[in-house]
A and B are shown apart, each in its own frame.
Chain A
């Protein structure tokens, strides 16, 4: 077992990116697991939280908390201001044209389900929805349910062996009957970056709308929904260093306006009689019930934190760590990288010849290393590559080269144990 008792020397090869200072902002990173410093390489699953997010949530509950949009009392108005300020922060973060285009949901999955159950309600037999082979189950199952419910045709863009999408096949799949293309911006299982801007333009050329699952990309790169020209962009708060229990649906205003509400209840109405309900304006129309209030405030704090550092600098640091990881891990005997598309980042998926991914995940945990082992909620990707599972190391703004070294040494120890 490598000696990781000594403090790790965290450095960044990216100039003026103070990785040590950033790591100090995340209190959980100072804890130990099985007596070893935590090496958290599971950010694609969920990101850890900076103190600023923890404080924002605590402060809200300790000082200001009440329900939003409903009270004339001071606490409700103060909380409403914080909640709506968070919406504006999200708008600016993805460069939406208006905060009316930012709908808070309970997660990325809920955002996709909202579109499938609202936008999707206008679709029927003969209409086509295109997804890709790279999708997370959350961007597969809602569309299968829509297919089974409404009789739409579901088509799948195939993927190449390296984990990139077959864009020639995509062009062939698009027809005048295509109503929606719903694809990931970045594969959670392999790290592949998908050229969604070009794909959106192709979709629009046949009159289709474009939904982008940004759950994996949102924390790794600057996002400009107007530049991408996507019609919907969804992500979750917990992968963006914010609280769990909140997600975002960005939608172009005219689309969100035309879409019927998916859920009914409080906050989404103007007037209710037993004969007729008049729905509220955007975005409230799509936010039935008490929203994730503290989670929104926490997400706003996460965005402030990231913006303060700069997404360009975060992206440059993570690109450096990702390249280092691919190089360092390939030096581990018997290790095979899974997913080698030219455009990928922040995720390294691999197998070892000597052990099952579950064995590897269990054993590296003894060295304090947290990775994910399994199908990563993307079983079709595994089926395509004919693998039962992979080990996935995924990186965030706080990941250091030293942590990659710990993983590599832990894998070398696993090899010895199976020798």
Chain B
């Protein structure tokens, strides 16, 4: 998350990425294997800097703790998030695979249908489903806010810790309030 070069746009569309996620998990026959894969994805999630774990970036509505931060690289939203629970981190990894490095328009026109297609909505407890919804809502809210007007690339007024790590050209967006 301290990349100095803006990442290239993803090679696949959001729809293709969601299809890939559904196919990846459909490969496993039973839920234990699916969860093992989700745990794997959770562990592979990039580290989230400790100074970013603030109330400002905390996503409420999840049983486990979740922190999320968005930054704009030109017109594309870079997303960083983590949880203190590994399975939730795995769910975050899936959401980031779909929505990270996309434009606001792409994000807002693509609700996370892969969750239902994988069968997670019925499998997870209501609280955890609510957590998924809260994380999705947080991403969509940041996307709705968009890059701040007239301050392209300057990140003016950001109170976020970790601002010192920020490379030029990136704009920080606190999680939706």
Contacts and interface: CB of A to CB of B under 8 A. Distances in A.
Interface of A: 1, 34, 355-359, 362-363, 365-366, 373-374, 388, 413, 417-418
Given A1-B32, A366-B31, A366-B35, A359 B86 contact: yes
Given A1-B32, A417-B35, A418-B39, A374 B63 contact: yes
Interface residues of B, number: 17
B40 to A, nearest CB: 10
What 7 pairs between A and B have smallest CB-CB spacing?
A356-B85, A358-B85, A358-B64, A359-B87, A359-B85, A359-B86, A362-B87
Contacts of B125: 362, 365
A358 B63 contact: yes
B28 interface: no
Nearest to B42: A359
B84 interface: yes
Given A373-B63, A388-B65, A356 B84 contact: yes
Contact of A356 (B30, B86, B124, B128): B86
Contact of B64 (A356, A363, A417): A356
Q: Which of A358, A366, A388 counts the most B-chain CB atoms under 10 A from its CB?
A: A358
Nearest to B86: A359
B143 to A, nearest CB: 27
Nearest to A362: B87
A413 B36 CA distance: 11
B63 to A, nearest CB: 6
A107 B39 CA distance: 39
Given A388-B65, A417-B36, A418-B39, A358 B88 contact: yes
Given A358-B63, A373-B63, A34 B31 contact: yes
A1 B30 CA distance: 11
Contacts of B128: 358, 362
23 contacts: A1-B32, A355-B86, A356-B84, A356-B85, A357-B85, A358-B87, A358-B88, A358-B128, A359-B39, A362-B35, A362-B124, A362-B125, A362-B128, A363-B32, A363-B87, A366-B31, A366-B32, A366-B35, A373-B63, A374-B63, A413-B32, A417-B32, A418-B86
Interface of B: 30-32, 35-36, 39, 63-65, 84-88, 124-125, 128
A285 B39 CA distance: 56
B84 A388 contact: yes
A373 B63 CA distance: 9
Contacts of A388: 65, 84
Contacts of A357: 85
A418 B124 CA distance: 19
Given A356-B84, A359-B87, A363-B35, 16 more contacts: A1-B32, A355-B86, A356-B64, A356-B85, A356-B86, A358-B88, A358-B128, A362-B35, A363-B32, A365-B125, A366-B31, A366-B32, A366-B35, A373-B63, A417-B36, A418-B86
A162 B149 CA distance: 55
A356 B86 CA distance: 7
Contacts of B30: 1
Contacts of B87: 358-359, 362-363
A34 to B, nearest CB: 7
B30 to A, nearest CB: 8
A297 B31 CA distance: 42
Contacts of A374: 63
A395 B63 CA distance: 23
Contacts of B124: 362
Contacts of A365: 125
A365 B126 CA distance: 13
Contacts of B86: 355-356, 359, 418
A359 B131 CA distance: 14
Nearest to B90: A359
A236 B63 CA distance: 25
Contacts of A355: 86
Contacts of A418: 39, 86
A390 B63 CA distance: 12
Contacts of A356: 64, 84-86
A366 B32 CA distance: 7
A373 B85 CA distance: 11
A418 B35 CA distance: 11
Nearest to B36: A417
Contacts of B39: 359, 417-418
Nearest to A367: B32
Contacts of A417: 32, 35-36, 39
Contacts of B36: 417
